[in-house]
Amino acid sequence: MSHIKLKNLVKRFKDTEVLSGIDLDVPEGSTLVLFGPSGAGKTVLLRCIAGAVEQDDGEVRIGGEDVTDVLPEHRGIGMAFQNFALFPHMDAFDNIASPLTACGKTADQIRAGVDTVARLLKIDHVLTHTPKALSNGQKQRTALARALVSHPKVLLLDDPLRNVDAKLRFEMRLELPRLLADQGATVIYVTQDYREAMALGDRIAVLDGGRIIQNGTPEEIYRRPATINIAKLFGDPTINLLDVVPQSDASGVYATLSDCRIQLDPGLSGNVGRECMLGLRPEALSFTTANEGVPVTIEAETPFNEKAVTLVTTLRKREILVSRPAETPAPASGTAHITIDPRDAVLFDRQTGVRLDPNGTSHAAEKAA
Amino acid sequence: MDHRSPLERVLRALALTAIVVFFMFPIFWIVLMSLQTNETILRSPPSMSFVPTLKNYAAIISGELDSNAGSMSIHFMNNLLNSVLLSVFSVALALLLGVPAAYAFARHKFRGSEDIAFTLLSFRFAPPLLVLLPLTLYFQALGLANTYLGLVWVYQLICLPLILWIVRGYFEDISPDIEHAYRIAGHGWFATFRKIALPLAGPGIAAAGLLAFIFAWNNFIFALVLASADKQPVTVGALAFVTASGIQYGQIAAAIVMSIAPTLLLALWAQRYLVEGLSLGAVKG
C-alpha cells in the first residue's frame, strides 16, 4: 500500500514556478531515481511528497490515498536529507531513535531497533557521539539509519551521498541497492550523479526546469535520451555531438562525416534535410585497422585503468572522443580510421534539442500526446 | 599554534589591561566609595588609604539613614525587592509571549506578519515620555496605576520587542530541515517546537532574556510616573538619597553596588548559555 502517484503537481515560490505540473508514478517496492541539475526542483518535489512543503496545485497520493491534507508526521515516510539535518543537541542514538519514540515504543524496543539498523550501517560504535563528533560518512549513515529505523513504506532519499567522500560514495552505491531491496519500501532517490542514478534506479525520471523531461529505465535514458541535454548529462566521457544534415538515396537514410556515410535508421527518412545533431557515444566508436571508416587524426589520449579515451579530429577539425577498453591496441599517433556502430547513433533536432525518433514522432511529442 | 612573539603578547596584555581598567574603573571606584564614610570620600585630594567600613551597607539594609542633619528612614530594600519582582515577572511574561510569537514570525510567513512584527518593534521608537501621559490617564481609569500588574504590563513595551526580535533571528538560523526531519519522523509541531526549536535557540533566548532583564531593571521613567513609593524599583528609589541636607555619597555607592549585583550575577550565570554554539556540526553547509 505504498504506491506513490503524483498528479499535475505545481509549486510556486512567489512568482517563480519551481514545479510545473509533475506527473509521476512509482509502483510499490520499486526505486525511482529523480535526476537533474541543481535548481531543477528535485528537493522541492521530495518535500512536497514528505509534506514539508505544501504544493500549490495537484495532488500527492500514497497507497492510493490523497495525502494533500495529511500532516508530515502522519504520512509514514522515512526521509534522509542532503544536508543530513541531524538534531545537533541529541546523540546519534537519540537521532536514530526519534521515529521510534514518536510512535510510543518501549525503551527495549527502541534500543533493539536502533541497534539493528546501526549494526547494519556500521555505526554501532558511535551511537553515543553527538553529530558534531561524527565524521561526514558517519553523519550520512546516521541520517540514513534514522530514515530506515521505523521501516517506513515510503523512503525519500535526497542526494544522501552528496556530501561524503568518493570512496564511501562508491561503497554506498554498491550497498544501497541491497539495503533498499531488503526494506521493500517504495523509494524515491534524488541524485545529480548519473552513475548513482544508473546503479540504483529501476526507473529514472529526469527533472529539469520544474518538468519531467524523460522518465524511463536506465537503459532507455542512456540509449535513447529524449534531449541533447539528457544525452550530455549521462555518460563519461560525454557523448559526441556532431552537426549533420541527414540525406537519403536509394540505399536509405544517411549522414556524412568526413565524406563517409553513416547509415541511419530508415525510420528517420522524414528528417532528411533538417539541421540535426548526431549523438555518438564514445564507446560506440572503435578504431579499425582497415582503410575504411572515417579518417581521423589522433590528438591526445588519456589512459584510465579500465579504459582509454582518445581525442581525435576529423578532416574538418571536428573533435570526437573515442573510448575503448584498456589494453586493446590502437594507433598511438598519426592518422587512423574509426568505425561507427549505426545502432548506437542518436539523432537530435538541432533547434529544439529533442531526439528524433525513428518511428516518426519525437519523444516529446509522444509525451505530450 | 601560537605564532605571536613575546613582545606582541606583552603589548596585547597591556592593551587588554588598559581597556579593562578604563571600563571597570568607575565600578571599582564606587565599590571603594561604598566602603568609606562621607568625610573620607570628600577629602581633597582623594586618597586610596582609608579604614573600610560596612556602615553604609548596614544603614541601607536596616533602612535607617544617618546624616549630619539627623536620621531618616528609607525603603531601599523594599525598592530592591520591587526591582526584582518587576524585572523577573516582566521578563517571564515577555518570554512566555515573545518566544512563541518569535517562532511564528520566523517560521510562518502569514499575511501581515512583517507588519505586525514591525509594529511591535516600533514600540521602542517612541520616546517613553510621549506615551506616558495617555498611559497614566488610562491606567488611572482602569485602576492599574500603582499596581504590579500594571507595571509588568507597561514593562512589556521594553521587554517584548527585544525578546521577539532577537529570538526570531535565532529561530530563523535553525535549518528548517532539522525541524522537517523531526516532523517527518512522526512528531507533531508542538513537540518539534519544544524538543528541537527551543533547545537550539536556547542561547539566543538566554541572551534576549538577559538583555530584557537589564533593560527592565534599569528602567526609570515608567516606574517614576506610574508607581508610588511602595512599588518603586531601585532606579527611582535612589532619588531618596538626594536629601535637603546633602548627598550621602557613601550610601549611594553602597546602594549602587547592591543594585547592580543581581544583574551582574545573572549575566555571569547566563554566560555559559550565551557562548554555547549548539548548532555547530548539525548540518553540512
Q: Above 80 in pLDDT, residue A365?
A: no
Instruction: Give the residue, A251 or A26, on which the prediction is more confident.
Output: A26
Residues B164 and B195 placed together within one structural domain of the fold? yes
**End-to-end Cα spacing for chain A:** 30
Is the alpha carbon torsion for A141, A145, A146, A148 positive or negative? positive
**Alpha-carbon distances of A243 from A135, A256, A345, rounded to whole Å:** 48, 10, 13
* pLDDT tens by residue, A76-119: 889 998 888 999 989 999 999 999 988 888 899 999 999 988 88
Minimal Cβ distance to B177: which of A71, A81, A150: A81
Residues B86 and B15 placed together within one structural domain of the fold? no
Torsion of CA B278, B280, B284, B285, to 10 degrees: 110
Three cell numbers, residue A249 = 538515396
Q: Mutation test of the interface with chain B: which of A132, A140, A161, choosing the one with the most B Cβ atoms within 10 A? A: A132
Q: Above 90 in pLDDT, residue A236?
A: no
Q: Above 70 in pLDDT, residue B50?
A: yes
- The answer to whether residue B240 neighbours chain A at the CB level (below 8 Å) is no
Q: Which of A181-195, A268-282, A354-368 has the lowest mean pLDDT?
A: A354-368
Looking at the domain assignment, is residue B210 inside a domain?
yes
Q: Above 90 in pLDDT, residue B12?
A: yes
Looking at the domain assignment, is residue B265 inside a domain?
yes
Residues B197 and B103 placed together within one structural domain of the fold? yes
- Single-letter amino acid code for the residue at A289: T
Q: Mutation test of the interface with chain B: which of A86, A117, A135, choosing the one with the most B Cβ atoms within 10 A? A: A86
Mean model confidence pLDDT for chain A: 85
Identify the bridge partners of residue A307 per DSSP, sorted by sequence position.
A325
Residues B154 and B19 placed together within one structural domain of the fold? no
DSSP state of A69: T
- The answer to whether residue B181 neighbours chain A at the CB level (below 8 Å) is yes
Residue A368: the pLDDT is 41
Is B186 within 8 Å of A102 when comparing Cβ atoms? yes
Q: Above 50 in pLDDT, residue A285?
A: yes
Q: Above 80 in pLDDT, residue B243?
A: no
Task: Give percent of chain A with pLDDT exceeding 70.
Answer: 96
Exposure string for A209-235, b = 16+ CB within 10 A, e = fewer: ebbbbbbbebeebbebbbbbbbbebbb
Pick from B73, B102, B123: which residue ends a domain? B73
The CATH class for the domain spanning A4-225 reads alpha beta
Residues B95 and B228 placed together within one structural domain of the fold? yes
Q: Please state the rounded mean pLDDT for residues A70-75.
A: 87
Residue B70: the pLDDT is 62
Query: For residue B123, what is the domain's CATH number?
Result: 1.10.3720.10
Q: Above 60 in pLDDT, residue B285?
A: no
Residues sharing a CB contact under 8 Å with residue A20, sequence separation 6 or more, in sequence order: A10, A209, A210, A211
The DSSP annotation for A99-133 comes to: HHHHTT--HHHHHHHHHHHHHHTT-GGGTTS-GGG
Residue B276: the pLDDT is 55
Q: How many domains does chain B have?
A: 2
Contacting residues of A for B186, CB less than 8 Å apart = 73-74, 98-99, 102-103, 150
Q: Please answer whether residues A79 and A156 qualify as being in contact, where contact means their C-beta atoms are separated by less than 8 angstroms.
A: yes
Q: Above 70 in pLDDT, residue B275?
A: no
Residues B205 and B164 placed together within one structural domain of the fold? yes
Q: Please answer whether residues B281 and A132 qualify as being in contact, where contact means their C-beta atoms are separated by less than 8 angstroms.
A: yes
Q: Where are the domains of chain A?
A: 4-225, 230-368
Pick from B73, B89, B106: which residue ends a domain? B73
* pLDDT tens by residue, A134-149: 988 888 889 989 998 8
* pLDDT tens by residue, B18-46: 999 999 999 888 998 889 887 788 887 87
Residue B123: the pLDDT is 79
Residue B94: the pLDDT is 95
Nearest CA to CA, how far is B188 from chain A (Å)? Answer: 6
H or E segment to which residue B226 belongs: helix B221-226
Residues B44 and B113 placed together within one structural domain of the fold? no
Provide the H-helix boundaries in chain A. Answer: 42-50, 92-102, 107-120, 136-148, 166-183, 194-200, 218-223, 228-233, 363-368
Residue B2: the pLDDT is 61
Q: Above 80 in pLDDT, residue A62?
A: yes
Is B284 within 8 Å of A51 when comparing Cβ atoms? no
**End-to-end Cα spacing for chain B:** 26
Which residues of chain A have a Cβ shorter than 8 Å from any chain B Cβ? Answer: 47, 50-52, 71-75, 77-79, 81, 83-89, 98-99, 102-103, 130-134, 136, 139, 146, 150, 163
Q: Mutation test of the interface with chain B: which of A62, A70, A79, A138, choosing the one with the most B Cβ atoms within 10 A? A: A79
Q: Mutation test of the interface with chain A: which of B180, B182, B184, B284, choosing the one with the most A Cβ atoms within 10 A? A: B184
User: Which of the residue ranges A159-163, A171-175, B142-146 has the most confident prediction, judged by mean pLDDT?
Assistant: B142-146
Is B186 within 8 Å of A85 when comparing Cβ atoms? no
- The answer to whether residue B175 neighbours chain A at the CB level (below 8 Å) is yes
Confidence band, pLDDT 50/70/90 cuts, at residue A362:
very low
Question: In sequence order, what E strands does B13-136 have?
Answer: 64-67, 70-73
* pLDDT tens by residue, B173-187: 888 899 999 999 889
* Model ipTM over 0.90: no
Three cell numbers, residue B131 = 506615551
Looking at the domain assignment, is residue B241 inside a domain?
yes
Closest C-alpha to B284, from A168, A86, A193: A86
Is B185 within 8 Å of A146 when comparing Cβ atoms? yes
Residues B67 and B97 placed together within one structural domain of the fold? no
Residues B44 and B83 placed together within one structural domain of the fold? no
H or E segment to which residue B105 belongs: helix B76-107
Is B177 within 8 Å of A85 when comparing Cβ atoms? yes
Q: Please state the rounded mean pLDDT for residues A147-176.
A: 84
Three-state DSSP at A287 gives strand
Closest C-alpha to A93, from A135, A54, A124: A124
- Single-letter amino acid code for the residue at A133: A
Q: Please state the rounded mean pLDDT for residues B85-108.
A: 93
Residues B82 and B29 placed together within one structural domain of the fold? no
Length of chain B (residues)? 285
Contacting residues of A for B173, CB less than 8 Å apart = none
Is A85 within 8 Å of B178 when comparing Cβ atoms? yes
The range of the structural domain enclosing residue B51 comes to 6-73
Nearest CA to CA, how far is A321 from chain B (Å)? Answer: 37
C-alpha A264/C-alpha A261 separation (Å) is: 9
Residues B117 and B204 placed together within one structural domain of the fold? yes
Residue B281: the pLDDT is 37
DSSP state of B231: G
Task: Assess whether the region A4-225 and the region A230-368 belong to the same CATH fold.
Answer: no
Residue A14: closest C-alpha in chain B: B109
Q: Please answer whether residues A81 and A158 qualify as being in contact, where contact means their C-beta atoms are separated by less than 8 angstroms.
A: yes
Closest C-alpha to A45, from A63, A30, A26, A29: A26
* pLDDT tens by residue, A295-311: 888 888 888 878 888 88
Is A72 within 8 Å of B183 when comparing Cβ atoms? yes
Looking at the domain assignment, is residue B124 inside a domain?
yes
Is B186 within 8 Å of A52 when comparing Cβ atoms? no
Pick from B73, B104, B132: which residue ends a domain? B73
Residue A363: the pLDDT is 46
- Single-letter amino acid code for the residue at B33: M
Contacting residues of A for B185, CB less than 8 Å apart = 73, 98-99, 102, 146, 150
H or E segment to which residue A25 belongs: strand A16-26
Residue B282: closest C-alpha in chain A: A88
Residue B68: the pLDDT is 58
Closest C-alpha to A107, from A93, A122, A89, A118: A93
Minimal Cβ distance to B186: which of A103, A130, A136: A103
Length of chain A (residues)? 369
Minimal Cβ distance to A73: which of B186, B282, B284: B186
Task: Give percent of chain A with pLDDT exceeding 90.
Answer: 13
Residue B23: the pLDDT is 92
Q: Please state the rounded mean pLDDT for residues A221-250.
A: 88
Q: Which of A110-124, A189-203, B185-199, B270-284 has the lowest mean pLDDT?
A: B270-284
Residue matched to cell numbers 519582582: B85
Three-state DSSP at B145 gives coil
- Provide Rg for chain B, Cα atoms: 24
Provide φ and ψ at B178, rounded to 5°. Answer: -65, -40
Is A84 within 8 Å of B284 when comparing Cβ atoms? yes
Q: Please answer whether residues A306 and A240 qualify as being in contact, where contact means their C-beta atoms are separated by less than 8 angstroms.
A: no
Residues B102 and B65 placed together within one structural domain of the fold? no
H or E segment to which residue B24 belongs: helix B6-34
- The structural architecture, per CATH, of the domain A230-368 is Beta Barrel (2.40)
Nearest CA to CA, how far is A147 from chain B (Å)? Answer: 8
Looking at the domain assignment, is residue B153 inside a domain?
yes
Q: Above 50 in pLDDT, residue A369?
A: no
Contacting residues of B for A73, CB less than 8 Å apart = 183-188
* pLDDT tens by residue, A288-299: 877 777 888 888
Q: Which of A171-180, A322-331, B154-163 has the lowest mean pLDDT?
A: A322-331
Q: Please state the rounded mean pLDDT for residues A183-192.
A: 89
